[in-house]
């Protein structure tokens, strides 16, 4: 019982800690004006142009840290602060999102795998817990166990495996985008030595949130897999 409670505390606290870390790191470096004086939007445009990518648009999005690259629409969406402000954090994040656009343009393998997993992973996220819950209730009601309840649990676990796989494949995609971002802002002289270190810190903190999310996804998958097996 104690181990169980500890487990739930861990899977809640660990991601929360890294979310907090990314916010504080971001807040710190979003207040540091970049010596280039370029806004996130300008940095994004510059890196796209330097890589001869002409079919990707840079747009202003809504919401705090809502920055992303959408491969289906070929748009780099930057949150308002990153789009408009010339900060070290905006530089780092804009370069990271363009990193995804470069991955897309160059046919980076893991990005393709990730995109093809997306629909099933999405289904997994919305349905797996529901199926597992229904399954658990059904096996609880029927005295002999097994049957439809066990099948529902297994269906949930299989669906969940797609979201776990998606989460795992996201890691190389994210790390690679940051690596590309750092290479670009260094090569194009967008940052000085000090800013390079700070930009790396911002992207490193963001990467840890993905690592934490994946760790939780894998742990949860193992937990439900064991549950399904014990029900057989």
Residues of this chain that interact with Zn ion (CB under 5 A) are 174, 177
| CA gap 93, 128 in Å, rounded | 32
Active site residue 194: no
Buried b (16+ CB within 10 A) or exposed e, 109-128: ebbeebeebeebbeebbeeb
Is the Cβ of residue 154 or residue 166 nearer to Zn ion in the bound state? 166
Shortest CB 78 distance to Zn ion, Å? 12
Please name every residue paired with 76 in a beta bridge, in sequence order, or none if there are none.
58, 69
Shortest CB 96 distance to Zn ion, Å? 6
Structure tokens at 80: 């308002």
| CA gap 196, 186 in Å, rounded | 7
Is the Cβ of residue 78 or residue 177 nearer to Zn ion in the bound state? 177
Shortest CB 131 distance to Zn ion, Å? 30
**Cα–Cα distance list, 138 to 126, 130, 156, 172, 220 (Å):** 20, 12, 14, 39, 21
Catalytic residue among 45, 46, 97, 195: 97
Shortest CB 69 distance to Zn ion, Å? 7
End-to-end CA distance of the chain: 23
Active-site positions?
A: 97
């Amino acid at each position: 019982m104690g181990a169980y409670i500890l487990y739930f505390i861990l899977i809640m606290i660990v991601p929360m800690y890294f979310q907090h870390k990314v916010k504080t790191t971001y807040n710190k470096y979003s207040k540091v004006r970049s010596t280039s004086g370029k806004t996130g939007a300008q940095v994004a445009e510059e890196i796209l142009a330097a890589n001869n990518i002409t079919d990707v648009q840079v747009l202003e999005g809504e919401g705090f840290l809502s920055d992303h690259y959408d491969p289906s629409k070929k748009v780099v969406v930057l949150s308002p602060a990153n789009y408009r402000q010339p900060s070290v954090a905006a530089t780092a994040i804009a370069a990271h999102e363009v990193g995804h656009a470069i991955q897309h343009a160059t046919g980076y393998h893991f990005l393709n795998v990730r995109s093809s997993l997306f629909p099933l992973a999405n289904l997994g996220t919305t349905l797996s817990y529901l199926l597992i819950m229904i399954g658990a209730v059904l096996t609880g009601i029927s005295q002999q166990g097994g049957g439809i309840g066990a099948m529902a649990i297994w269906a949930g676990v299989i669906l969940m495996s797609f979201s776990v796989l998606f989460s795992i494949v996201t890691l190389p995609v994210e790390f690679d985008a940051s690596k590309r971002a750092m290479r670009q802002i260094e090569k194009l002289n967008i940052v000085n030595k000090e800013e390079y270190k700070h930009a790396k810190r911002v992207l490193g903190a963001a990467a840890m949130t993905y690592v934490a999310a994946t760790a939780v996804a894998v742990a949860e998958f193992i937990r439900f897999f064991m549950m399904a097996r014990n029900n057989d």
